[in-house]
């Protein structure tokens, strides 16, 4: 007889395309996932995957099992969602995903405050800049910057995140003294920044590229050039200064997103209410209104 744990491992490998990816997704050891996968194949008496250059590809039998496992997963999630909606008090486990530049800076004091106010809720913070499936309960709540959030999720736009062009204080002083043109960092962390980089400095060949806003901030501190940066990161940093002011077309909404099945969950509602108020209290920082 198969059990759900083995099917859950199977689905993680299918979705990630590798044993190591499935292990990371589930927080398990590589050897554990490999062993459980082999056991499942022995139980069923079929090979579930072919190893190809791009990773693990389901066989015909694997595709049939995937369809069945996904149906089971949907049913389990529906039951879990309906029961979660009957929570009477804020307690249990709450999984929240947020992007790294925000989770490790401005949001961390809010997470800590929420945890102290609701000690019966075990808070798990997952830092991820990629899409996380709320439908598969990889997280209960997602905090994301976007102007086009997914229509399948319940969302609340809690504030606007503004951005400006920043550079290191010493670097900008040197530009002013020499009346020179700045070098622009090549920033490739997301579609928004790639598009902005093409518009702002399409003619320039970049000698330095980064793919993360925390790396952008660190490079600016080192005087590597100028680049766009969210105001909540650039304004509080004494090593940085604005090269130009925020523009409305660079604004992004900050959203709290959750799956519709969790809209009545006490722990989710408590988190949504607390974070909405805490983020609103920092509205000037997110909007770039605190700089001189």
Give pLDDT tens digits for 162-185. Answer: 999 999 999 999 988 888 888 888
Averaged over 204-225, what is the pLDDT? 80
Query: Does the domain spanning 163-250 belong to CATH 3.40.190.10?
Result: yes
Q: Of 13-17, 111-115, 263-267, which has the strongest mean pLDDT?
A: 111-115
Decide if 92-161+252-286 and 163-250 have a common fold.
yes
Q: Which residues contact 273 (CB under 8 A, 6 or more apart)?
A: none
The structure's pTM equals 0.64
CATH of segment(s) 92-161+252-286: 3.40.190.10
- Nearest alpha carbon to residue 118 among 93, 95, 91, 142: 91
> How far is residue 30's CA from residue 28's CA, in Å, rounded to a whole number?
7
The domain locations on the chain are 4-84, 92-161+252-286, 163-250
pLDDT at 122 over 80: yes
Mean pLDDT rounded to a whole number for the chain: 82
Reading the block at residue 245, the tokens are 């002011």
121/49 Cα distance (integer angstroms): 39
Give the whole-angstrom CA distance, residue 98 versus residue 107: 9
The tens digit of pLDDT for each residue in 32-42 reads 889 988 888 88
CATH of domain 4-84: 1.10.10.10
Per-residue b/e over 22-53, b at no fewer than 16 CB within 10 Å?
bbebbebeeeebbebbeebbeeeeeebbeeee
């Amino acid at each position: 007889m198969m059990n759900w744990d083995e099917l859950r491992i199977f689905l993680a490998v299918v979705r990630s395309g590798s044993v190591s990816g499935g292990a990371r997704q589930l927080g398990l050891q590589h050897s554990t996932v490999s062993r459980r996968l082999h056991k499942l194949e022995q139980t069923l008496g079929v090979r579930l995957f072919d190893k190809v250059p791009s990773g693990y590809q389901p066989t015909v039998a694997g595709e049939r099992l995937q369809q069945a496992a996904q149906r089971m997963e949907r049913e389990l999630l529906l039951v879990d969602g309906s029961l979660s909606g009957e929570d009477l008090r804020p307690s249990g486990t709450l999984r929240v995903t947020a992007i790294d530049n925000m989770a490790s800076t401005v949001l961390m004091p809010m997470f800590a405050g929420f945890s102290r106010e609701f000690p019966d809720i075990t808070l798990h913070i997952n830092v991820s800049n990629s899409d996380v499936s709320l439908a598969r309960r990889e997280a209960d709540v997602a905090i994301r910057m976007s102007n086009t959030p997914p229509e399948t999720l319940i969302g609340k736009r809690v504030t606007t995140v503004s951005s400006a062009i920043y550079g290191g204080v010493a670097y900008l002083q040197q530009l002013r003294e020499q009346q020179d043109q700045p070098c622009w960092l090549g920033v490739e962390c997301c579609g928004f920044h790639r598009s902005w980089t093409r518009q702002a400095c399409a003619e320039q060949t970049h000698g330095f590229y980064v793919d993360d806003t925390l790396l952008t901030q660190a490079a600016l501190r080192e005087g590597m050039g100028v680049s766009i940066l969210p105001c909540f990161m650039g304004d509080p940093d004494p090593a940085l200064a604005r090269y130009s002011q925020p523009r409305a077309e660079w604004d992004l909404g900050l959203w709290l997103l959750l799956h519709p099945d969790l809209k009545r969950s006490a722990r989710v509602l408590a988190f949504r209410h607390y974070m909405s108020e805490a983020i609103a209290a920092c509205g000037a920082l997110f909007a770039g209104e605190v700089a001189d």
